[in-house]
Structure formats: structure tokens, C-alpha cells
Amino acid sequence: MSKSIVVTGGTKGIGHAIIRKFAEAKFTIFTCARNAEDLKALQAEIQNDFPEASLHTFQADLSEKEQVTAFANFVQASAQPDVLVNNTGVFLPGAIHEEPEGNFELMMHTNLFSAYYLSRAFASEMKARRSGYIFSIGSIAGITAYPNGGSYAVSKWAMLGLTKCLRAELMPYDVKVTSILPGATYTSSWEGVELPVERFMKAEDVADAVWAAYALSPSSVIEEMIIRPQLGDL
């Protein structure tokens, strides 16, 4: 029986690269996104490039708790995942004291609350079978304060705290928890920026790091992994 993985926000950027990496290893994959056409395109891509993998897609806006719950139920109707990657996120730059009203709620609900609800949905079963892995895709914005980070940075600091708590809670049950903290990675969030692509990390490099952490023996875990562009932060 193949292993299964849940990757939120899997149609673009880091989530997309992680899906391709685990599809190569013939995982059964569950993912969600807001855009139905993007999910359809991903389905066709994975079927074409990795015919031995199985991809299940679900349209959902994870800023809404009801839709997070619906996605979790969709997954559990078919499988209890071996791996959960809390990846979905939204980035809206702005200073805390002057960013548009609603930015805080949107980014906290999307970036943090979705990870909280999904981790709760799958952790109990992982504990019961004493096996499983939860990854949080955070950001260096969650360890370094910088101007114009605003509510995005707040959400990523909170994500790191959530992940640390999960690590402490699930450690005795042999469930691994890792926080991935990438620097500037070339994704749709950076489109239009007047910087050379070579200045950014590749999403595939982050996916390779996730796979490397997953592939460690049961006796070891990477708790936190900081990945930066070779020339430093932007």
C-alpha cells in the first residue's frame, strides 16, 4: 500500500514542487487550492509525468474554517495521511500600523489557522499508530523582523510557535514535526519584482529539503531548517 501525503496549496510554488517530489516516489497525494482550473491543470500534469502516483484534488479556501474541515473530511474518506505539509499561505506586504483593514485576519486565518485545524484533524490518528510526519512551511519572516512584513510576519512567527508546540507534544508518540523556514523563493508572490531569477532560491530546492528530512531514519528528526539564497536575504 502506497504512502499518502497531504499538501495544502499545491498548485503553485513550494507546494507544487513538493507534490512533484513525492509523486516521483509514488505517493498517494491529496491537495487543495482555491482555483479549480489550477487544480485541473495540476491533475493533468501529475498524471502525465508520474502515472504511478495518485493525486486527489479538492477546491477550498483555507481561510475559512468550514472549508478546512471539508478538506480534512475529504482526505479521511480515503486515507489517514502519513505526511501533512501545511504549506498554504498568502502574502500581503504592509506595516502593522497602516496596512489595510482585514489583512491581519486574512493572513492569520490562511497561514496559521488552517495549519492548526489540519494538524488537529490528523494528529490523533498519527499518535495512535505511532507514525507520521507534519511539516510547516514557515518563513525567515518568522524569525527576523523587517519593515513592511506586517501581519504576514506575525502569522509566520506564530506558525513557528505552533510547530514547536506540536513537536513537543508529538515527540513521545514517534510522530515527527519539522519547521521549514525558507528565504526568498521564486514563486508567484515575487512576480513583477525587478530582480534576476538567479537571486532567488528554487522551489525545487525547498522540496528537496523536505524530502531529505522525511527520508531520515526513525531515530532522527530535523526540528527546524533555515534555507536562504546563497547571496543572503532580499
* Res. 186: pLDDT tops 90: no
Q: Whole-angstrom Cα distance, residue 224 to residue 129? A: 24
Q: Specify the pLDDT at position 153.
A: 96
Q: Specify the pLDDT at position 95.
A: 94
* Res. 127: pLDDT tops 80: yes
| Domain 4-227 listed as CATH 3.20.20.80 | no
pLDDT in tens, 9-60: 999 999 999 999 999 999 999 999 999 999 999 999 999 999 999 999 999 9
CA 194 to each of CA 73, 90, 159, 229: distance values in angstroms, whole numbers, following the listed order = 42, 21, 29, 16
Of the candidate ranges 10-24, 38-52, 145-159, 183-197, the one whose mean pLDDT is the lowest = 183-197
Q: Specify the pLDDT at position 63.
A: 97
Q: Whole-angstrom Cα distance, residue 189 to residue 91? A: 7
Q: Specify the pLDDT at position 39.
A: 98
Q: Specify the pLDDT at position 198.
A: 86
Q: Which residues have C-beta within 8 Å of that of residue 198, sequence separation ≥ 6?
A: none
Question: Rounded to two decimals, what is the model's pTM?
Answer: 0.95
Q: Specify the pLDDT at position 194.
A: 75
| More confidently predicted of 186 and 68 | 68
| Section 120-135 average pLDDT | 98
